[in-house]
C-alpha cells in the first residue's frame, strides 16, 4: 500500500471530475462522474503511476481493479488508492477485500454478515469475503469475454478464464458451469465457431466469436441487466455508511441526502483513448470536452434514505449487495486534478457516486462496444 501522498491544491485549482475506470477491458475506457470536493485538501498517493491513466489500461488479467475510493475516502486527509500491484487475484469484481486494504476506509474487520453473504472458511484467508453469482446469463458472460478479447474471438478455455478472472463466484463453483458455457456456445445462434489456423494452432478446440447479426441483441440484454442492477447498486453505499456509523467513522452521509435528482446521475462515457489521453491538450484543457452523446449513458443514482432498519432490510434482499464498490481514478495531471473551466464546486457536499462492480462491468462493456462497433 502506498503510504506517501501529495496534497491537492485548493479547490479552486482542482477538478471535480473524477475518472471512473471500468474494470475489465484491455482497451482504455473512461467514465466520468461529477463529484463535489470537500473544502479541505485531499491527499493522493504520490506515485504518478498509481494514478496515471495507464493503470486503467492494464489488462484484466492482472486485476480489474486499480483504484478505489469509498465515501469515507473523500472526507479523510489520506486517500489510499489500490493499484494492480497491491491488489491480489482475489480482489475482483464481486469481492470486497478491497474494502479492508484501504487503511482508514473501513476497519480491518469482517463486514457485517447477512444471509446473502456466504461465510468464508477460516482456512481460506485469501479468498474473497463474498462472492455472489453474477446476474448475467452465460450468453452475456461469453459475449463479454469475447468482446473483451483483442481479436474478438476466443477459445473456450480462454472464455472460462475470463469468467473466472472477472467473477470469483466461478472460481469456487462446481465445474458444471463450464458445461453450461459450452452448451451455450453450441446452442446459441449468437456465437459462431471458427476453425483455428492450422499453421498457428496451439491447443485444442476452435475459436468462438460473436455473430454480428446477434451482437445488437446481446448488447441490449447486457444493457438491460446493467440498468436493472445499476439502479439497485446503492446498497453497498448504505452498507458502508452503516459500517462507518457502527465503528464511529466519519461517514459522508450528507451526500446521500441530496434532493436534486440531477446530482444523482453518473455520467458514463467511453471516449477514445486518444481523446482522453492525458497528453491530449484539448482534454487537459477540459476533461469533459471529448464526451459525445454517442458515448454517454446516464445511470440514475437513486436517492437514498438510509435509516438503519430500512438499510439492513434492503441489504438482505439485494443479491448484489456484496459486490458494490466505487472505482474511481483520479485523473491526475502534474500532480493536480484537472479543473473544468465551468466548475462550481460545492464545498459543503461530497456526492458519492458508486456503481456496483457488475454494473460497472456491464457499463464498461456496453460503452466500449457502443463506441467500437463493427
Partner DNA sequence: GGACACTTAAACATAC
Partner DNA sequence: GGTATGTTTAAGTGTC
Interacting residues toward DNA by CB under 7 A: 133, 136-139, 155-157, 160, 174, 176-180, 182-187, 193, 201, 203-206, 208, 221
CB of 293 to DNA, least distance (A): 28
> Which residue, 85 or 221, is less far from DNA as judged by CB?
221
CB of 179 to DNA, least distance (A): 5
CB of 78 to DNA, least distance (A): 41
Closest C-alpha among 53, 80, 67 to residue 23? 67
Closest C-alpha among 147, 136, 142, 143 to residue 27? 147
> Which residue, 32 or 160, is less far from DNA as judged by CB?
160
CB of 206 to DNA, least distance (A): 3
- CA angle (58 as vertex; 230, 354 as ends), nearest 5: 20
> Which residue, 220 or 257, is less far from DNA as judged by CB?
220
| Residues 6 or more apart in contact with residue 337 via CB below 8 angstroms | 8, 14, 15, 17, 18, 330, 331
Closest C-alpha among 353, 355, 304 to residue 325? 355
> Which residue, 145 or 326, is less far from DNA as judged by CB?
145
> Which residue, 228 or 247, is less far from DNA as judged by CB?
228
CB of 216 to DNA, least distance (A): 14
Amino acid at each position: 500500500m502506498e503510504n506517501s501522498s501529495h496534497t491537492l491544491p485548493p479547490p479552486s485549482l482542482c477538478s471535480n471530475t473524477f475518472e471512473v475506470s471500468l474494470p475489465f477491458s484491455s482497451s482504455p475506457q473512461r467514465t466520468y462522474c461529477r463529484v463535489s470536493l470537500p473544502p479541505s485538501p485531499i491527499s493522493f498517493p504520490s506515485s504518478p503511476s498509481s494514478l496515471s491513466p495507464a493503470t486503467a489500461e492494464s489488462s484484466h488479467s492482472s486485476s480489474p481493479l486499480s483504484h478505489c475510493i469509498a465515501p469515507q475516502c473523500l472526507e479523510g486527509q489520506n486517500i489510499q488508492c489500490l493499484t494492480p500491484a497491491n491488489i491480489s487475484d482475489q480482489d475482483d469484481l464481486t469481492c470486497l477485500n478491497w474494502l479492508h486494504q484501504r487503511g482508514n476506509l473501513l476497519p480491518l474487520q469482517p463486514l457485517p454478515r447477512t444471509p446473502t453473504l456466504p461465510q468464508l472458511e477460516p482456512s481460506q484467508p485469501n479468498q474473497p469475503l463474498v462472492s455472489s453469482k453474477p446476474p448475467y446469463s452465460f450468453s452475456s458472460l461469453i459475449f463479454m469475454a469475447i468482446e473483451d478479447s483483442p481479436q474478438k474471438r476466443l477459445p473456450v478455455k480462454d472464455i472460462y478464464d475470463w469468467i473466472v478472472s472477472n467473477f470469483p463466484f466461478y472460481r469456487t463453483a462446481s465445474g458444471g458451469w463450464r458445461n453450461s458455457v459450452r452448451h451455450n456456445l453450441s446452442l446459441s445462434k449468437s456465437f459462431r465457431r471458427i476453425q483455428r489456423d492450422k499453421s498457428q494452432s496451439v491447443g485444442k478446440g476452435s475459436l468462438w466469436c460473436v455473430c454480428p447479426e446477434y451482437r445488437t441483441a446481446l448488447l441490449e440484454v447486457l444493457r438491460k441487466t446493467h440498468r436493472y442492477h445499476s439502479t439497485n447498486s446503492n446498497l453497498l453505499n448504505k452498507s458502508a455508511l452503516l459500517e462507518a456509523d457502527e465503528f464511529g467513522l466519519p461517514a459522508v452521509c450528507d451526500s446521500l441526502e441530496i434532493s436534486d435528482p440531477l446530482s444523482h446521475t453518473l455520467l458514463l462515457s467511453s471516449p477514445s483513448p486518444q481523446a482522453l489521453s492525458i497528453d491530449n491538450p484539448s482534454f487537459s484543457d477540459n476533461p469533459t470536452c471529448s464526451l459525445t452523446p454517442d458515448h454517454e449513458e446516464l445511470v440514475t443514482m437513486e436517492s437514498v434514505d438510509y435509516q438503519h432498519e430500512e438499510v439492513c432490510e434492503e441489504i438482505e434482499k439485494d443479491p448484489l449487495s456484496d459486490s458494490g464498490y466505487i472505482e474511481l481514478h483520479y485523473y491526475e495531471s502534474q500532480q493536480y486534478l484537472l479543473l473544468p473551466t465551468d466548475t462550481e464546486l460545492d464545498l459543503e457536499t461530497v456526492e458519492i457516486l458508486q456503481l456496483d462492480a457488475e454494473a460497472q462491468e456491464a457499463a464498461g462493456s456496453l460503452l466500449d462496444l457502443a463506441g467500437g462497433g463493427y
